[in-house]
């Protein structure tokens, strides 16, 4: 059964370029310029899918973005795209499309049995039925319901397509390229402004493309040609303005041609925005108005004039307004027998005269009582006094036009009801926003062009100088007339009269919602699912809102609309994520030594954004194996480790010492030149911010190091203090984290290693004691050696310019090769410091006080420092605070785990416990697992037995609280 | 002299149509900090405002904030203000050619239109979530100063954005 055919009439398809495509496994042909929908119609395919809930046969309703029924799944595997709108999908060679929500086939869908159950499947059915009998019953029902209902299905395969994001700017953004948009673009372009014209379609022209007028086509082409010659104009076809945000940010979704990206998301910042988004035709609501072959009247005109696709023999048009007569006349002129069911009683004389001329029969005061046919309509039964049945191939319906106000509402401006055109129009425009054409309810073509021109002039300064606009040579606009008809369904058929085609919402459902007390339009939406889904109610909302207003006895203007939110049409998640996927999700921060580590068998671990050398293959293939050997190397000989990720800050100025004295809890004012000092800084709430060492290079120059994790925060904090609080201090701070690389040379042989590397430098204990600092030039490069130790061994940090860090590292390795020096990684570095009892990022949870960490005594009593006052507030001094302790495993072979919850030996293992393990390692010196932890009351419990519970692995390990300093408590090794 | 190693030593080179992307190494960058008076005393002429670069005495000056100026070129003897060498801290990437502005538009939310972003202007912005300074040094020629530790990620982002122009 075919209801449509392709005719020879000239249109916008290119008949010299035929292309093949596949639908439900069968091959079809179309032309360049077709949409998927127009090509399917031309091939006689009117049944394209099954409805969401009842699995009713569905065809094509519209010819554009408003389509609610003809959604197809295109592509395959990772490139599968469900819910492709066939009425906007440009026909491409080789495209494969499948119908949705039908099994085993579109023609014979077993779930169509749901139609028989429709009396009980009304709105609210799920909420009422699937609540019980048990509390978790929904979990059982959900997969079954999901399988039985819905739209297209996503696939689990990785999407191989590329998506991009870009940021653009312009003076005037024009959304929509119909008559108003084209006029606005040309006027704006003539001013020399930077103009962007956005069109969702793959051709510019909007309604002109459907007009069939040669004069309008000439005018359209002339405008586009002028725009294409304008150097400051960007013409964006296949581009949807998805949302308008604050400060004139428009988010555009582009489908580019001849580009590596499938989609581009553009964030466009415009000085002014002209919305020429047009209007969407409304369906009429009557029994079986969803049958394949029932379409919007304007869609029939589009298929005729743009794609040369017409109903085979007979068409019925049902309308309550004048616009549908353009379709009726065009069809009749192309040898289609047309009958009009006219809801109104009177019509203008020129319409009647033209209809008579074309042999169109008009039945006034009547609508459609019912549609005959199931998978393809075969006829209609008229309502009213002309209760006749008419055989026809298609039914074109027009319930009036709804301006596309969505974008104007994204900023929060509610639309307002205009009784003259029986539609909502923008409730206003934000500053620097303008509207033109049908969006304003201006449905005449010439009026729209004039409004477009005027909007552009209003948007631009000095618009008087812009050349006057040429209008097309067409007759003046016909006055738009409409008699609102929101519900034309007979009472007995309300359950088959569809308001929202995509969500299977009927008149009965809306009445049901009213009976249940869901009066508000927002409640109506949630209760019935009206206006949800991929079309977001573009065709259904106004009819439904008007019905609810009627039921409530309110004028439609008071019932209001639901809230319009971006995106205007469906966007794929890929287009939103753009290039921020996979390895590109975040940047990687690399040490200057990174390439060396790669070349020398390092395995890496992410530490924040840093990629750090975790362990080296000289020591083992697994971290568990390697770090033990690397620790032994440092404890017994000498190792070298990359510490370039430490935060490094240059603090200079005549007040630098005073500044440091204020930010650290301990004194820095009298730190001698050539010496370093460990310091702790607090936030102003008395909680520990960070720790590290600062070295005095000259009287007015200091070199601060921070933890890797807190480097950025400390830098910001210092800048904040200098810019906001202590503007009187002559201090400048600069991050040197990227400028300087660093390496720790650690172990009892570290001094010998450096002596071999720098034989001309005196680094004896006398010349460079513990916490001493020296600077010298080595082969033209400035080197800074700080005698510091994180590992607890005799150790040095060697810093130099990042560009030369690799060369210096290699030099030290080579010079000390005879000693057996080798690199050690982050795992060993972190384990060595646990043995020594040095806290690090894992132990600092931004809730610790100085006393929690056992560092209270280092704070200066007589000096002021940030956080001093609040450090002594009551809860910071509470005796049972979680404070730093050491933990030793008491079970041979049993592993302690980071994050384990700590309980006293007599506690029930339940709840949050008394603390948790913050860092853990195997101790090569003690031959057991040890850990640092925060424990309620801290070292007051030293010597007590505890349980370390790790519920994820169902482990409970016996342990004991000890001092956090496991080795070399006297610091003899440091001072060696 | 120890051997200098670039942060982009392992980067894959890019060849493009109407586009050249490459590292421009071997520059000397020094930051000078002080009051307006101190900076003028040390550097002679200084840029009047941020965002505009100044060529003076064979050096390029970029005023990155009211009290700090980056000088690209031989360091100045500047006792009047505070100087900090930063040559290793930044990796300089050149993006030039007729398509350069299109590439930059994918990287940073800045208006790179020729009328807006002209030669001898610069912006302090972000590329791939990391701080970057972009300096327009010619009609369609730009220097990106990326943080050294993020340079490879920035390079990958820049060359990825340029994919449509790759040869």
Q: Per-residue DSSP letters for A451-517?
A: HHHHHHHHHSTTGGGSPPPPPPS-PPPPPP-B---S----GGGGGGBEEETTTTEEHHHHHHHHHTT
| Minimal CA separation from B122 to chain A, in Å | 17
Cβ-contact A111, A55 below 8 angstroms: yes
Domain boundaries, chain B: 20-26+88-165, 33-85
pLDDT in tens, A148-186: 777 888 889 999 999 999 999 999 999 999 999 999 999
pLDDT band (50, 70, 90) for residue A350: very high
Which of B78, B82, B152 to mutate to test binding with chain A, by most A CBs within 10 Å of its CB?
A: B82
Cα–Cα separations (whole angstroms), residue A739 to A712, A773, B29, B33, B82? 15, 19, 11, 17, 16
Q: Who contacts A631 (Cβ-Cβ below 8 Å, separation ≥6)?
A: A824, A828, A831, A832, A924
Cβ-contact A759, A753 below 8 angstroms: no
Strand arrangement, sheet containing B90-96: B20-23, B90-96, B141-147, B130-138, B121-127
Q: Does B33 touch chain A (CB under 8 A)?
A: yes
Q: For the packed helices A521-528 and A541-552, what is the interaxial angle rounded to 10 degrees?
A: 120
Task: Please report the domains of chain A, with CATH numbers, ordered by start residue.
Answer: 4-115 (3.10.20.440), 163-280+403-465 (3.50.50.60), 589-629 (no CATH), 647-832 (3.30.1360.120), 871-962 (2.40.30.110)
> What pLDDT sits at residue A670?
96
End-to-end, the C-alpha distance of chain B in Å comes to 38
Which positions in chain A touch B109 (Cβ < 8 Å)? 167, 267, 269
3-state class (DSSP) for residue A564: coil
Which of A167, A260, A783 to mutate to test binding with chain B, by most B CBs within 10 Å of its CB?
A: A167
The rounded distance, in Å, linking the Cα atoms of A764 and A775 is 14
Give the residue from chain A lying closest to B26, CA to CA.
A803
Closest CB to A587 among B84, B108, B130: B130
Task: Tell me the CATH number for domain B20-26+88-165.
Answer: 3.30.1360.120
3-state class (DSSP) for residue B63: strand
Cβ within 8 Å, pair A779-B2:
yes
Cβ within 8 Å, pair B82-A653:
yes
Counting residues of chain A whose pLDDT is more than 70, the rounded percentage is 100
Which of B106, B156, B161 to mutate to test binding with chain A, by most A CBs within 10 Å of its CB?
A: B106
| DSSP state for residue A321 in the 8-state scheme | B
> What pLDDT sits at residue A141?
84
Average pLDDT over residues A237-251: 97
> What pLDDT sits at residue A116?
76
Tokens of A879: 């005796």
| DSSP state for residue A525 in the 8-state scheme | H
Q: Does B30 touch chain A (CB under 8 A)?
A: no
A413 pLDDT exceeds 90? yes
Cβ within 8 Å, pair A595-B9:
yes
Q: Which of B121, B95, B119, B90 is nearest to B27 (CA)?
A: B90
Give me the phi and psi of A765, to 5 degrees please: -60, -30
| Minimal CA separation from A778 to chain B, in Å | 8
pLDDT in tens, A357-375: 999 999 999 999 999 999 9
Which positions in chain B touch A610 (Cβ < 8 Å)? 149
Q: Return the exposure string of A139-169: e unless at least 16 CB atoms fall within 10 Å of the residue's CB, then b.
A: eeeeeeeeeebebbeebeeebebbbbbbbbb
Cβ-contact A31, A38 below 8 angstroms: no
The rounded distance, in Å, linking the Cα atoms of A868 and A609 is 32
The rounded distance, in Å, linking the Cα atoms of A246 and A767 is 63
Tokens of A179: 């008559």
Closest CB to A595 among B10, B88, B160: B10
Give me the phi and psi of A626, to 5 degrees please: -70, -45
3-state class (DSSP) for residue A615: strand
Rg of the Cα atoms in chain B? 16
Give the residue from chain B lying closest to A169, CA to CA.
B111
| Minimal CA separation from A648 to chain B, in Å | 12
pLDDT in tens, A516-559: 999 999 999 999 999 999 999 999 999 999 999 999 999 999 98
Per the prediction, chain A carries an average pLDDT of 95
CB atoms within 10 A of CB A260: 11
Cβ-contact A693, A676 below 8 angstroms: yes
pLDDT in tens, B110-135: 999 999 999 999 999 999 999 999 99
Q: Does B20 touch chain A (CB under 8 A)?
A: no
Which of A803, A813, A815 to mutate to test binding with chain B, by most B CBs within 10 Å of its CB?
A: A803
CB atoms within 10 A of CB A231: 7
> What pLDDT sits at residue B94?
97
> What pLDDT sits at residue A385?
84
Give me the phi and psi of A743, to 5 degrees please: -140, 140
Q: Who contacts A621 (Cβ-Cβ below 8 Å, separation ≥6)?
A: none
The rounded distance, in Å, linking the Cα atoms of B79 and A191 is 53
Counting residues of chain A whose pLDDT is more than 90, the rounded percentage is 90
Q: Does B167 touch chain A (CB under 8 A)?
A: no
A131 pLDDT exceeds 80? no
> What pLDDT sits at residue A153?
87
Closest CB to B2 among A259, A650, A781: A781
The rounded distance, in Å, linking the Cα atoms of A838 and A832 is 9
Cβ within 8 Å, pair B67-A808:
no
Rounded to 5°, the CA angle B144-B150-B154 comes to 50
Closest CB to A806 among B5, B150, B160: B5
The rounded distance, in Å, linking the Cα atoms of B121 and B114 is 11
Tell me which residue has tokens 């995106």. Answer: A567
Which positions in chain A touch B128 (Cβ < 8 Å)? 584, 587
Cα–Cα separations (whole angstroms), residue A440 to A67, A341, A455, A845, B83? 22, 28, 12, 57, 62
Cβ within 8 Å, pair B85-A739:
yes
A1 pLDDT exceeds 70? no
Rounded to 5°, the CA angle B76-B78-B80 comes to 160
The rounded distance, in Å, linking the Cα atoms of A121 and A115 is 9
B151 pLDDT exceeds 70? yes
Give the residue from chain A lying closest to B3, CA to CA.
A807
> What pLDDT sits at residue A832?
97
> What pLDDT sits at residue B143?
98
Q: Who contacts A25 (Cβ-Cβ below 8 Å, separation ≥6)?
A: none
A122 pLDDT exceeds 80? no
| Minimal CA separation from B55 to chain A, in Å | 24
Cβ within 8 Å, pair A803-B10:
no
Give the residue from chain A lying closest to B81, CA to CA.
A653
> What pLDDT sits at residue A337?
98
Cβ within 8 Å, pair A194-B113:
yes
pLDDT in tens, A639-677: 999 999 999 999 999 999 999 999 999 999 999 999 999
Cβ within 8 Å, pair A167-B110:
yes
Count of pairs with CB atoms under 8 A, one residue in A, one in B: 128
Q: Which of A915, A919, A781, A744 is nearest to A844 (CA)?
A: A919
Q: Which of A763, A741, A737 is nearest to A815 (CA)?
A: A763
> What pLDDT sits at residue A139?
83
Classify the C-alpha dihedral A544-A549-A552-A553 as positive or negative: negative
């Amino acid at each position: 059964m075919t209801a449509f055919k392709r005719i020879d009439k000239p249109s916008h398809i290119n008949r010299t370029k035929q292309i093949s495509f596949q639908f439900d496994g069968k091959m079809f042909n179309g032309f360049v310029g077709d949409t998927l929908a127009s090509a399917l119609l031309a091939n006689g395919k009117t049944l394209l899918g099954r409805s969401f809930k009842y699995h009713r046969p569905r065809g094509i309703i519209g010819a554009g973005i408003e389509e609610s029924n003809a959604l197809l799944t295109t592509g395959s595997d990772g490139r599968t795209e469900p819910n492709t709108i066939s009425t906007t999908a440009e026909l491409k060679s080789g495209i494969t499309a499948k119908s949705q929500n039908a099994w085993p086939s579109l023609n014979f869908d077993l779930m169509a049995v749901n139609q028989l159950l429709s009396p009980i499947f009304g709105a609210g059915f799920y909420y009422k039925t699937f609540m019980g009998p048990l509390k978790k019953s929904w979990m059982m029902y959900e997969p079954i319901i999901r399988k039985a209902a819905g739209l297209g299905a996503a696939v689990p395969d990785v999407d191989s397509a590329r998506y991009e994001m870009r940021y653009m700017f312009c003076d005037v953004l024009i959304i929509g390229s119909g008559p108003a948009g084209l006029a606005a673009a040309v006027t704006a372009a003539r001013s020399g402004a930077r103009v962007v014209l956005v069109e969702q379609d793959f051709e510019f022209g909007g309604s002109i493309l459907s007009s069939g007028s040669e004069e309008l086509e000439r005018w359209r082409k002339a405008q586009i040609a002028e725009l294409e010659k304008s150097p400051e104009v960007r013409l964006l076809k296949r581009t949807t303005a998805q949302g308008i945000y604050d400060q004139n940010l428009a988010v555009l979704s582009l489908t580019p041609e001849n580009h590596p990206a499938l989609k581009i998301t553009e964030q466009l910042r415009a000085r002014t925005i002209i919305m020429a988004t047009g209007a969407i035709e409304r369906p009429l609501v009557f029994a079986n108005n969803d049958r394949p072959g029932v379409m919007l009247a304007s869609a029939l005109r589009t298929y005729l004039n743009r794609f040369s696709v017409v109903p085979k023999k007979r068409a019925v048009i049902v309308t309550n307004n004048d616009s549908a007569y353009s379709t009726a006349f065009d069809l009749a002129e192309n040898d289609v027998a047309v009958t009009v069911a006219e809801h109104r009683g009177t019509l203008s004389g020129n319409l009647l005269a033209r209809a008579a001329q074309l042999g169109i029969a008009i039945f006034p005061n009547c609508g459609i009582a019912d549609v005959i046919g199931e998978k393809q309509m075969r006829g209609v039964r008229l309502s009213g006094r002309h209760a006749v049945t008419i055989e026809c191939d298609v039914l074109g319906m027009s319930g009036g036009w709804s301006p596309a106000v969505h974008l104007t509402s994204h900023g929060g401006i509610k639309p307002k009801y205009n009784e003259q055109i029986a539609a909502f129009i923008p409730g206003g425009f934000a500053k620097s926003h303008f509207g033109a054409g049908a969006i304003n309810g201006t449905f005449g073509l010439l009026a729209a062009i004039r409004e477009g021109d005027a909007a552009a002039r209003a948007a631009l300064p000095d618009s008087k100088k812009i050349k006057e606009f040429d209008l097309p040579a067409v007759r003046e606009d016909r006055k738009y007339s409409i008699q609102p008809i929101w519900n034309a369904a007979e009472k007995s058929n309300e359950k088959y009269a569809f308001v929202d085609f995509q969500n299977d919402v009927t008149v009965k459902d809306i009445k049901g919602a009213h009976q249940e007390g869901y009066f508000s339009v927002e409640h109506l939406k949630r209760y019935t699912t009206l206006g949800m889904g991929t079309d977001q109610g573009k065709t259904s909302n106004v009819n439904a809102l008007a019905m609810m207003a009627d039921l409530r006895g309110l004028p439609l203007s008071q019932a209001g609309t639901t809230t319009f939110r971006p995106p205007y049409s469906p966007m794929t998640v890929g287009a939103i994520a753009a290039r921020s996927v996979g390895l590109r999700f975040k940047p990687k921060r690399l040490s200057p030594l990174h390439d060396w580590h790669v070349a020398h068998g390092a395995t890496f671990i992410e530490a924040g954004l840093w990629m750090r050398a975790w362990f080296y293959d000289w020591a083992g293939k697994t971290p568990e194996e390697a770090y033990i050997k690397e620790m032994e190397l440092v404890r017994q000989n000498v190792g070298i480790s990359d510490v370039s990720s430490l935060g490094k800050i240059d603090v200079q100025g005549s007040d630098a010492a005073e500044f440091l004295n204020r930010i650290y809890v301990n004194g820095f004012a009298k730190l001698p030149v050539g010496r370093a000092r460990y310091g702790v800084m607090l936030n102003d709430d008395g909680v520990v911010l960070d720790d590290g060492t600062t070295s005095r290079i000259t009287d007015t120059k200091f070199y601060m190091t921070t933890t890797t994790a807190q480097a950025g925060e400390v830098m910001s904090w210092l800048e904040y203090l200098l810019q906001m609080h202590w503007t009187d201090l002559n201090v400048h701070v600069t991050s040197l984290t990227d400028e300087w690389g660093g390496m720790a040379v650690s172990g009892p042989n570290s001094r010998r290693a450096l002596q071999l590397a720098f034989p001309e430098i005196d680094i004896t204990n006398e010349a460079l004691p513990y916490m001493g600092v020296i600077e010298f030039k080595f082969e033209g490069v400035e080197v800074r050696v700080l005698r510091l130790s994180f590992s607890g061994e005799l150790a040095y940090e060697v810093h130099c310019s990042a560009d030369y860090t690799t060369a210096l590292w290699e030099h030290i390795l080579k010079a000390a090769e005879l000693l057996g020096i080798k690199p050690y990684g982050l795992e060993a570095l972190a384990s060595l410091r646990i043995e020594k009892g040095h806290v690090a990022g894992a132990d600092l949870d931004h809730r610790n006080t100085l006393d929690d960490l056992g560092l209270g005594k280092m704070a200066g009593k007589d000096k002021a420092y940030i956080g001093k006052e609040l450090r002594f507030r009551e809860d910071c001094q509470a005796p049972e605070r979680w404070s730093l302790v050491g933990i030793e495993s008491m079970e041979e072979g049993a592993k302690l785990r980071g994050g384990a919850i700590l309980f006293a030996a007599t506690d029930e293992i339940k709840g949050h416990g008394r603390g948790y393990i913050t860092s853990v390692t195997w101790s090569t010196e003690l031959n057991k697992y040890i850990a640092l932890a925060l424990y309620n009351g801290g070292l007051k419990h030293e010597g007590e037995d505890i349980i370390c519970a790790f519920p994820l692995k169902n482990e409970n390990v016996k342990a004991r609280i000890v001092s956090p300093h496991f080795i070399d408590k006297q610091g003899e090794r440091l001072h060696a | 002299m120890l051997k200098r190693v670039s942060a982009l030593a392992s980067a894959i080179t890019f060849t493009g149509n109407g586009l050249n992307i490459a590292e421009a190494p071997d520059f000397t960058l020094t930051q000078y900090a002080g009051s307006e008076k101190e900076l003028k005393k040390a550097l002679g002429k200084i840029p009047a405002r941020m965002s505009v670069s100044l060529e003076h005495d064979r050096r390029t000056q970029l005023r990155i904030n009211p009290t700090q100026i980056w000088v690209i070129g031989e360091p100045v003897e500047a006792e009047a203000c505070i100087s900090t060498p930063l040559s290793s801290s930044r990796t300089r990437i050149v993006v030039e050619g007729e398509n350069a502005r299109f590439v930059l538009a994918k990287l940073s939310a800045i208006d790179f239109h020729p009328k807006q972003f002209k030669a001898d202007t610069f912006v302090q912005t972000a590329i791939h979530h990391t701080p970057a300074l972009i300096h327009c040094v010619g009609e369609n020629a730009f220097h990106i100063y990326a943080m050294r530790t993020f340079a490879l990620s920035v390079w990958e982002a820049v060359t990825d954005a340029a994919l449509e122009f790759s040869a």
